[in-house]
Structures are given as C-alpha cells and as structure tokens.
Structure 1
Amino acid sequence: MRRGEALLSKLGDRLTGLRGRITPDAEMDKITWFRAGGAADALFQPADEEDLSAFLKAVPEDVPLTVVGIGSNLLVREGGIPGFVIRLSAKGFGQAEVISPTRIRAGAAAPDKRVAALALEAGIGGFHFYHGIPGGIGGALRMNAGANGVETRERVVEVRALDRNGELHILSNAAMGYSYRASTASSDLIFTSAIFEGAPEEHDVIKAAMDAVQHHRETVQPIREKTGGSTFKNPEGTSAWKEIDKAGCRGLMIGGAQMSPLHCNFMINTGNASGYDLEYLGETVRARVLEKSGIRLQWEIKRLGRFKPGHEVQEFLGQLL
C-alpha cells in the first residue's frame, strides 16, 4: 500500500463530510515552478475557510501538515512530503476586492499580481511591487515578500488565520512580527486572507511604476525559465547575487540545475533537474560564498520533505560552521 493510501486508511471516516478535494500520493512536481521533487503523502485542497477548519479539527495532531501556495518559491525533496500538504484553492481563497478607497481584502491564494492589478483599477497606490513578485498572498504574508524597495509589512493591516485546531485568529500588523523576509507569526497558523492599505494615487503614476517593475524583471531576471525566484536572502550590506558572482558561481551547473547566467541568484531547472540537483547546487553555492567571502547565505526558497536515501544534502556541504 502506498503512503497516501495508508494515511487515508488510518484516518478512516474522520474526513467524511469535507467538501474539498483529497488526492493521495500527489505529485508535487506538477505544482512547483521548479517542476521537480517527490510526492506528498496526500494533498488537501479545501473548498473554503469553513471546510479548512473542519479538516484541521478532524486530522489528529500526529499527522504532519504542510501548507504550500502556488509553488513559485518551493523546492520539494525527492523523498516526498510526509502527511498532508494543504493547498488553498483559487475558488475558495483566491478572491481580491476593494473594501474602501484605500483598502483591499485578498485571499491567501490570490496571486500577488492580481492584487497589484486591482489596486491599479481602484487608484490605490503602493502595490506596484506585487506586480513583480511571482507568488501568492499567503506566501507574501508569511515571508514578508518585497521588491523594488517596498515590503508586504508596509501594507498589511490585519491577517486572518486558522490554527492547528481549526480555531480562527485575527492578527494585527504588529502581531505578525515582521522583519526582512520573515515573520514571527506561529508556524502552525494557516493564513486565509488579509486586509491591506495603500494610498490614493493617479492611475498613470501607478501604471508607470508597474511598467518599471515589469521592465526590470524582463531585463535582469530569467522569468521564462523553470525557477523559484530569488534563491538566497540578501546578506546585510551586500546583495546575494554579488557574492555568488564573486565566488564564481554564475552559470554553475549540477545535473540539470543551474545558477542563471542572467541573474545568478536565480536557480533554474534546465530541463531534467531533480530536487537533489537543485538543493546540492544551492549548498555548493553557499559553501563557495562562505569560503570566498565568509558570508553564510540563507535560503529564501522554502525546502520541504524527506531526502531520498543516498541523496541527502548537508548544509554548506558539511563544512564546519
């Protein structure tokens, strides 16, 4: 019996009555933008917040739960992901609406670009940076996504979330505990929606800012490749790409994985890279930057799951830290 079938058999009728979709042994390479990685034991796509709450209350706490977004900033290891992967559906969590002259409510599955477009339509400034982030609102809330000098924390008013027991929480901006590419909000919270605030702005000014973001992306980023976006966080006082370049890793390849020759903080799947290839390449880059500059690059891409036996990857390739 496969892992997913065994998991569903173990749970018996606990999941009866859920309206969302359950897929055992779900292939994660169909979800991630890297198009690589193993399978999740099971994938649950809740119909809406109420359905997600019912699921969380039904699943025992010893069953691992992992939340993923649209898969843009995600590396899944070849051994797959234990327990359930929760992926919020576009139908139930992808809405975005203007609720005041300066505020937008967006579901966690709404693409960042959709929020930027809605703000443009409504004449709300301050959201142009989302036009250049290839992710969803849930991920942006969790990692304080930012670009072009603006971060998510500058726009968040409050966040709606469910805890591991399916109970609802409303978090203020301060409660999110934002810092550079991070939040201290409890890792067991599943964000379902948020309210954001900008400022009144002329349509032409917003459009010009969005066009500048798009031009920058098309000029310096490999946006048409199978990539996960920025691979590493920028170290204090410098840029990740500068340190990667300095260490001689621009264009570096391992298997089917490559550090982009165009923007060397972008890792790409050139066609047949495995999760192992991608993570091993990343750790090779980290080791070389550490040796060259003494800087310990931190992953911005989220890595999930089990290593395939014999394909384990050590941080900094096992160097003493």
Structure 2
Amino acid sequence: MTMTQPDNFWFTDSGEAPTCAVDGAGDMLVSMDGIRGKLTRDAPLAKLVWFKTGGNADWLFEPADLDDLCAFVERLDEGTPIMGLGLGSNMIIRDGGVPGVVIRLGKAFSTVKNLGDCRLECGGGASGILVSSTARDAAIAGLEFLRGIPGTVGGFVRMNGGAYGREVSDVLIDCDVLMPNGEFITLPAADLEYSYRHSALPEGAVVVTARFQGEPGDPKEIGAEMDRIAQAREESQPLRTKTGGSTFKNPEGQKAWQLVDAAGCRGLTMGGAQVSEKHTNFLINTGDATSADIEGLGEEVRRRVYENSGVTLEWEIQRVGRP
C-alpha cells in the first residue's frame, strides 16, 4: 500500500488509519495497526515550548489514552530514544532537533480526581494550576505551591519541582510510570530517590499519573495563598516574555540570581538571547534568538559567575536534542 504524507502526518491513500510509519530512510519505525493516536514525522517543536526556539522531533506521538500509549511504546525497537514533553516551560530544544520519539500527553492525561482523604490523582499532562485549583475546591491544603510551578505533573514529578518553600517530594504518594522498555509500573515516592530538582527516573520514562497527599484546609485561605503566589510570580519574574523558568539551580545556602547579578550579568545578551533585567535567573528570547544563543548565553553566565565567586552554577533548565 502506498503511503502519502500530507502535513507531515502519515495516512494511507484511502484516508484510513496508517498501518506503519517509516523514517526518512524508508525504514519502518513502528506498526500503526490499532494505534489511535497521532504520529507526526519531522514535527516542529519550537511552537510547543516557552522559548519558541529549537529544531524538530524525528517523531512526535500524541496518544489517544493510556492503552494507546502503552501499545505504541511496546512496539518501538529497543533503544529508540523517548522523551516526554509537557508545557515545555523549563526546556531548551536544541536547534538540531530531538532524535527518536517525543511523546506529548494531551487531554486524556490532564484530568485531576479527588480520591478522598485529602488525596488527588492527577494525570501526567495536568498543569500545576489545575492541580492546585482542584485542591482548593476540595478544601485540600498543602498543594498551593503547585500554582507557582509553570509545568505539568509529569515534568515536575520527574524533576522534583518546587516553589515557595515546598517540593513535589513533600506531597507525592506514588506515580504510574511507563518505562522505556514498555513496562508499566507504579513507584512509591521513596523509590524516586528525590533530591533537589532531581529524581532517579531513567531517561525515557514517562510519568502518566501521580497521586498527591494534602491536608484539610479552608478553601478561602487556600485561595488566598494561591493568589499570593501568583502575584509574587507576576511581580518578580518575566512571565510575559519568551522564557524558560529558572535557569540555574540554587547552590546550597545561596541564590542563583544573586550570584548572576553580582557577576554583572543583568541584561547581558548573546544574539537574540538576554539575561532578564527583571529576574537574573531567567533567560529570555527577545524575538529572534536561536536555542544556541540561549544555551550559549547560559554558559557565558556560568563562566562569569565562576570567575567572580568560585561557584559553578548547575543548569536547572533541561537542554535536549542535537546541537
């Protein structure tokens, strides 16, 4: 059966669901028989990340639901690179694009359910705002800080996301994870071996569901705390620019932004990238930056901070793909 490729999506000539997907060399990536999700070859990713820069994914898969995702991953050849993508808020997609398959969790993975006893079950594609708002409406306190994390559950469970004095490790009960080999497992929080902005999840593992534990609270007080967090972010961070969230991890006992500022990097530019004047731990795309500009500027900031203070800043933003 002949394959055509309108808009980079593989369909059969008859308009039926595709039976296989092939790469640029004509080799079959995976059988699509029975797969209901959308598979796109050479898929642009810049529009899907906050910086609005970067190359294409070799393949982008958007599963219809969990069963669809599991069936697709099980069919991939062993060793095929897999990367999960949420809101793209804390990520640099390099200009050469991302090898293998990028998996983007959509509406089917964006639900939040009240389990009772101050517990929430959240899909990997649910935003921090949705989780915290659902908790507020259910009179569940302790999850307000998620209002300040610009990402989805899958990302901040993997990276132990945190803000305003709390981290995911403080509230996570367990999570359901699809491993790169297609195995579907449930991991208690202790097995993730959390540390600051780090977990033991392997590359290619996709968090599809997580359960959080809160405590009884008053919805009005919870809402007031969420409003305080939202206002604090608005006042201190360049939220209305093309940015990527906090760039560097805070060294123990120090603030990354203070080290960057002390090194004279406020407003520093490289190509179309700039260190934010408003918050120096944020890099921004002023309009025509490449990912190389942004990453290069970050490396220059690290160099200047080390020369000034002797501190080596560690990247917090994920940098993925080919240079």
Give me the TM-score of the superposition, normalised by structure 2: 0.91
Task: Kindly state the Cα deviation for residue 187 of structure 1 after the two structures are TM-superposed.
Answer: 2.7
Q: How does 1:300-315 map to 2 (within 5 A)?
A: 300-307=316-323
Name the counterpart of 1:80.
97
* Code of the aligned partner of 1:74: M
Matched, 1:164 2:185: no
Task: Report the alpha carbon displacement of residue 188 of structure 1 after superposing the two structures with TM.
Answer: 3.5
What residue number does 2:13 align with?
none
Q: How does 1:75-114 map to 2 (within 5 A)?
A: 75-89=92-106, 91-114=107-130
Separation of aligned partners in 2, 1:98 and 1:85: 30
When residues 219 and 162 of structure 1 are mapped into structure 2, their CA distance, relative to the original with a 3 A threshold, is: same
Tell me how far apart the structure 2 counterparts of residues 147 and 12 of structure 1 sit (CA, whole Å). Answer: 40
Do 1:129 and 1:213's aligned partners in 2 also have CA atoms closer than 8 Å? Answer: yes
Partner of 2:234: 218
The answer (yes or no) to whether the contact 1:258–1:268 under 8 Å persists in 2 is yes
The residue aligned with 1:67 is 84
Aligned partner letter, 2:77: P
String of CA shifts for 1:283-302, please: whole Å, max 9, x gaps.
00011111111111111110
Cα distance in 1 for residues equivalent to 2:116 and 2:144: 18
Distance across 2 between alignment mates of 1:5 and 1:37: 23
Match for 1:55: what amino acid? Answer: F
CA apart distance, 1:63: 2.4
Cα distance in 2 for partners of 1:162, 1:7 equals 27
Q: By how many angstroms is 1:165 displaced? A: 2.3
Cross-structure match for 1:31? 48
Say which SS state the counterpart of residue 268 (structure 1) adopts: strand
Counterpart secondary structure, 1:231: coil
- Describe how 1:190-229 pairs up with structure 2 within 5 A: 190-229=206-245
CA RMSD of aligned residues (A): 1.6
Question: Any runs of at least 4 consecutive aligned residues in structure 1 with deviations exceeding 6 A, and if so which?
Answer: none
Structure number with higher helix proportion: 1
CA contact (8 A) 1:5 1:25 kept: no
Residue aligned with 1:92, SS: helix
Q: 2:227, 2:90 → 1: CA distance? A: 23
Structure 2 Cα separation of the partners of residues 12 and 96 of structure 1: 33
- Structure 2 vs 1, CA of residues 12 and 203 (structure 1 numbering), >3 Å: closer, same or farther? closer
Secondary structure at the aligned position of 2:54 is classed as coil
Identity within the alignment, %: 45
Q: 1:171 to 1:274 in 2, by over 3 A?
A: same
* Cα distance, 1:300–1:198 mapped onto 2, change above 3 Å: same
Aligned residue pair count: 305
Q: Distance in 2 between matches of 1:61 and 1:99?
A: 36
Q: Which runs of 5+ in 2 are unaligned?
A: 9-20
2:195 to 179, 189, 206: 179
Q: Deviations over 1:102-147 (max 9, x none)?
A: 0000000000110010011000001111111110000110000000
Counterpart amino acid of residue 94 in structure 2: R
